[in-house]
Structure 1
Amino acid sequence: MKIKIMVAAHKEFPMPENKDLYMPILVGAIRNYKEGIDYQRDDDGENISLKNPNFNELTAVYWAWKNLDADAIGLVHYRRLFSKGGKRELDNILNKKQIEQLLGKAPIIVPKKRKYYIESNYSHYVHAHSKEPLDVTRNVISENYPRYLDAFDQVMHKTSAHMFNMFIMRKKEFNQYSEWLFDVLFKVEDKIDISNYSVQESRVFGYVSEVLMDVWIETNGVNYVEVPWKQIGKVRLFSKVFNFLKRKFLPNSKSRTHF
């Protein structure tokens, strides 16, 4: 199989050695490119690189959908990758043989679900962000994709989800998912005004998309396999817990830590 896994980054960072499998991609390249960065750029060919401040790593997904030819396409982050388990190091991530074996079991590979325990996916979102975009997303789905509405409501009530916009998909599923996802997000984009959002909150479409992948998977009954993920480098656990509690109990403190 020809497999390409994009490693989304907005700056230079240590990358996996297997360049045939892992492809560093500079997101928001139209703004973030600096001389000497030898990554695939997301402003090459048909692209939405200019939308990166609002769509985050999804500008890489869009670029791949429109320009990348492979049997399977994936997305990970420069500090968050699919792992074999154990050490948080670049030499401990999935290799091609393992990915092929996993794709032989199901057409989609996703990270193990992130569990919130005391919160639903909806309450966790609105404690961290403005609720309007998520509510508008529901309206867009109701109006344009009504068969997805039950799954959307179910996912919102659950206390766990496949997060981070991380995946590896066979090309057929990747194309189908991308077509649906971007149609939904562009319709939401047309209906909300984010001009007064903070820089952090302006990443809204990247945030919304994190809860949409499960909606698409469940509606279409697509099989998947879950894989552990690891954050490369130090994990700022205290900071993450503090920010979670601050968002939950101080509603005006809506921010989210990205790595």
Structure 2
Amino acid sequence: MDIRVYVATHKNYKMPLEKMYIPLHVGREGKNDLGYLGDNTGDNISIKNSNYCELTGLYWVYKNIDCEYIGLSHYRRYFTVKPLVNRVLSKDDKFSLIIKEEEALQLLKDADIVLPSKRNYYIETVESHYKNAHHIEDLNKVREIIKEYHSEYTESFNEVMGGKKLYLYNMFIMKKKDFDEYCKWLFDILFKLESQIDISNYDNYQSRIFGFLSERLFNVWIKKHNLKIKEIPVINMEGINWWNKGINFLKRKFIK
């Protein structure tokens, strides 16, 4: 089976050697050549990377690649099927845990899609979390667009927004035909939103609006289509800097 997992990156980084992994330079347009495949050929939105994040790579794959199974990872985040032991791992140790092609194909025998384990927000809903971290009027505008143009997704949208768990990172492995259907739906919504809002006064973080919204919309699409899901852990090559995450959260919440 033809399976490809594109690894979104914006810098040179150690990459998995297994053939199913293909480094993809997202936001390649106007940038120095990293020696990787770029998302700025054929039908592309590479120039929009500062607002769309890894979605510029997603769009490029949607429009320019034909295969049976498709996946998206990140230069520092990968799926794993190995137990994550409670100890400090070296980068080499972590790379040995990255999911292999035969393991991915085995999972897909019994699932429509492979996804990262859900994030649980516990004390707030998906919608209230977005309100606390971003501009809630943008999410409200998405709700209006869905109601007008994709009303069959309204119930799923409301269920996801009222819930407390979310699949994050825009990471997945699934059939390319399902992926294409998802992208057609997703980019129709995001392009409509882009034409209706003004983000010229957003800072660099909030300007990544379409990447943030897509994580929520991905969950809406999954819920609507009632896919058979296999959740597995994600391993972070660089670990998580909780201090910086906390500082950034406080800045977003209290410094307007």
TM-score (norm 2): 0.92
Structure 2 residues without counterparts, runs of 5 or longer: none
Q: Which residue does the alignment assign to 2:26?
A: 27
Structure 1 residues without counterparts, runs of 5 or longer: 254-259
Which runs of structure 1 show a deviation greater than 4 angstroms over 4 or more consecutive aligned residues?
245-248
Q: For residue 144 of structure 1, what is the amino acid of its counterpart?
A: Y
Q: Which residue does the alignment assign to 1:2?
A: 2
For 2:200 and 2:238, the matched residues in 1 are separated by 34
Q: For residue 28 of structure 1, what is the amino acid of its counterpart?
A: G
Say how many residue pairs are matched.
248
For 2:200 and 2:129, the matched residues in 1 are separated by 23
For 2:48 and 2:59, the matched residues in 1 are separated by 11
- Pick one of 192, 196, 204 that aligns with 2:201: 196
- The superposition leaves residues 156-207 of structure 1 with CA deviations (integer Å, 9 ceiling, x where unpaired) of 1111100111111111211111111111111111111111111211110000
Q: Which residue does the alignment assign to 1:257?
A: none
For 2:237 and 2:124, the matched residues in 1 are separated by 27
Equivalent residues in 2 for 1:85-164, closer than 5 Å? 85-86=83-84, 87=89, 89-164=94-169
RMSD: 1.4
Q: For residue 131 of structure 2, what is the amino acid of its counterpart?
A: V
For 2:184 and 2:107, the matched residues in 1 are separated by 24
> How much does 1:243 deviate?
3.4
- The superposition leaves residues 6-63 of structure 1 with CA deviations (integer Å, 9 ceiling, x where unpaired) of 1101111111111x2101000100033x24x221100011111011111000011100
> How much does 1:120 deviate?
0.8
Question: Are the aligned partners of 1:109 and 1:225 in contact in 2 as well (CA < 8 Å)?
Answer: yes
Q: Which residue does the alignment assign to 1:11?
A: 11
Equivalent residues in 2 for 1:152-191, closer than 5 Å? 152-191=157-196
> How much does 1:107 deviate?
1.6
Question: Are the aligned partners of 1:4 and 1:22 in contact in 2 as well (CA < 8 Å)?
Answer: yes
> How much does 1:247 deviate?
4.2
Question: Are the aligned partners of 1:65 and 1:174 in contact in 2 as well (CA < 8 Å)?
Answer: yes
> How much does 1:238 deviate?
2.6
- Pick one of 34, 41, 57 that aligns with 1:60: 57
Secondary structure, aligned partner of 1:164: coil
1:45 aligns with 2:52: no
For 1:113 and 1:58, the matched residues in 2 are separated by 20
Identical aligned residues as a percent: 43
Q: For residue 230 of structure 1, what is the amino acid of its counterpart?
A: I
For 1:194 and 1:26, the matched residues in 2 are separated by 25
Equivalent residues in 2 for 1:70-89, closer than 5 Å? 70-84=67-81, 85-86=83-84, 87=89, 89=94
For 1:91 and 1:237, the matched residues in 2 are separated by 24
Q: For residue 25 of structure 1, what is the amino acid of its counterpart?
A: L
TM-score (norm 1): 0.91
